[in-house]
Amino acid sequence: EVLAGCDLGESIQSPITSDGFDVYFSARDHSVRALTIKTNGKPDEKWTAPYFSNLLKDDKEPQPIPYKGNTC
């Protein structure tokens, strides 16, 4: 039974991992994302923006890049 869903705007690239009510996965845009599944079954973003693994950490390209958001 599907209770709720969200459009990430990207395809999921990795296995989905969970820890309690938190779900972690990566998408094809090199992002690592985290969702919390609320008690009503609806997802909610755990982080304010995804972490982009393909960006530098030396201020040449800040992390995370400007985030468009999704419909979670």
Q: In terms of pLDDT, which residue wins out, 45 or 67? A: 45
Domain presence at residue 59:
yes
Domain that holds residue 8: 1-66
**Could you report the per-residue pLDDT of 12-63, keeping only the tens digit for each?**
889 999 999 999 999 888 888 899 998 888 888 888 777 777 665 555 554 5
If one counts the domains in the chain, the total is 1
SS3 52: strand
In-domain check, residue 72? no
Whether 46 is covered by a domain: the verdict is yes
Whether residue 71 is predicted with pLDDT greater than 80 in this model: the reply is no
Residue 1 lies in a domain: yes
Q: What is the pLDDT of residue 63?
A: 55
Within a domain: residue 38? yes
In the chain, the amino acid numbered 17 is T
Q: Compute the distance between CA of residue 61 and CA of residue 31 in angstroms, rounded to an integer.
A: 14
